[in-house]
Amino acid sequence: MPPRTVPAPRLDYLQRSTLAYVVALLALIAALVATGTVPLAPVDQPTASPQHSPATLTPTPARAAAVAPATPPSVVSTIAPAAATPSPIVAPASSPASPVPSARPSPSPTPTPPVVARTQTGAAFAQGNGAGVSLGPDSTLSLSPTVSDDFDSAALDTAQWQVVPWGGGGTATVGQGAVTATIAAIRTRRSFVHRTLEARARFTAGAPFQNLAWSADLNGATAILIGTPASDPAHLYARAKQAGREDQLTPLPATLMDGAFHVYRIAWEAERVEFAVDGVVRATLPVALVAPMFAWASSASATPLLVDWMRVLDYEQVEGTYMCVPLDGGAGARWARLTVGGTNPVGTAVRVRTRTSADGVTWSEEEPVEADGTVSSPTGRYLQWTLTLSGDGAMSPTVTMVEVVATQGGETG
């Protein structure tokens, strides 16, 4: 008996519907994968947090092709494909904003170069060299006065002074850095017109006729004085005597009779005389005198007048120069600023130039210091400054201090 043929099972309606649904579903999934609109990673695998701004992560077309596989060959898509250009990846709404980069640590501050300051005053000035400029007894630089004496010699300088005794036994002697006048006076060898007398002196209360003065003859009718008159020897007065006129007297502070030295100044001008003590103007008297007079220091009593130094501000040279000794700022010094302290009366001036050297032997050209004190000379371990002082014959600038400041890159020398 021939074998019995079993008919192939026939799919009923439900089975055919289910199969059609599965085929359609697979086609849909294949189409979504091809357009890149579904994640390639398994849905249960967490994605890493973005480390950069999303815009920087937009894939290039080459990268998109690498990560989006083609539709499986056994699945036919029934969904129209998306545009050929892939859509950019957009971060989900819950994605955090681009992380703010942490603040960079501040760079280490650049070390400030050490500052080297060199200040010179009287003691240092004595080491420099001047031509027409000298160091006065008050430790200031000025044009060289015609008369200036600090009485440090063994005897009175008779080229500058003449001794005038007032009676028997009158003397003017030098010792211990001062001149002592007892019943005598010293006066300048030459006379002057409209000049300034300065002296550091010690008066004695109760001793009459002790005077610093301008006069042709102290026994005469005309004189300009700071001293103790016979009418009140316990006090000092600024005083002017003129023939045919009543004396003008202005009392000075009683504290000046304290047994100490003070600096006195009698500035004789064309129409007035200014009297100052320790740099403070104490009196001004109207005086119009044009006849030449001598400068005096006198004590007509047995009580001595002591004068530490004395000078007449008269200048035969109206310009002079002074150069300091070399200053050592250390290796790599950059000289920055120069300051001059002192006085500049009307009609006078101070100009400053500097030069520098690496070895103290070869020097740069001298350069003028600018009006604000800026030093123009190049970097160099050593510096020298030169002052040029100018006046009008009756007045000179004075220099009490010069300070130079440098920034220094090496070790201080």
| Tokens standing for residue 21 | 């649904």
Average pLDDT over residues 104-120: 66
Q: Which residue has the tokens 């500035």?
A: 267
For 35, list phi and psi in degrees, rounded to 5: -90, 0
Average pLDDT over residues 110-117: 67
| Per-position b or e across 92-117, b if 16+ CB within 10 A of its CB | eeeeeeeeeeeeeeeeeeeeeeeebe
Q: Which residues pair with 223 in a beta bridge?
A: 241
Residue 118: predicted pLDDT: 87
For 227, list phi and psi in degrees, rounded to 5: 180, -170
Residue 110: predicted pLDDT: 53
pTM to 2 decimal places: 0.69
Q: Which residues pair with 9 in a beta bridge?
A: none
If residue 129 lies in a helix (H) or strand (E), which one and from where to where? strand 129-131
Task: Quote the CA–CA distance of 235 and 370 in Å, as a whole number.
Answer: 49
For 137, list phi and psi in degrees, rounded to 5: -65, -15
Among 66-75, 180-189, 217-226, 377-386, the minimum mean pLDDT is found in 66-75
Neighbours of 294 (CB within 10 A): 22
| Tokens standing for residue 333 | 């010094």
Among 85-94, 225-234, 370-379, the minimum mean pLDDT is found in 85-94
- Cβ neighbors of 91 (< 8 A, separation 6 or more) are 50, 54
R_g (Cα) of the chain, nearest Å: 51
Task: Quote the CA–CA distance of 266 and 238 in Å, as a whole number.
Answer: 9
The backbone region for 126, taken as left when phi is positive above 0, alpha when psi lies in -120 to 50, beta otherwise, is alpha
> For 337-349, what is each residue's pLDDT tens digit?
999 999 999 999 9
Q: What is the mean pLDDT of the chain?
A: 81
> For 295-321, what is each residue's pLDDT tens digit?
999 999 999 999 999 999 999 999 999
**Cβ contact 221:324 at 8 Å:** no
> For 197-244, what is each residue's pLDDT tens digit?
999 999 999 999 999 999 999 999 999 999 999 999 999 999 999 988
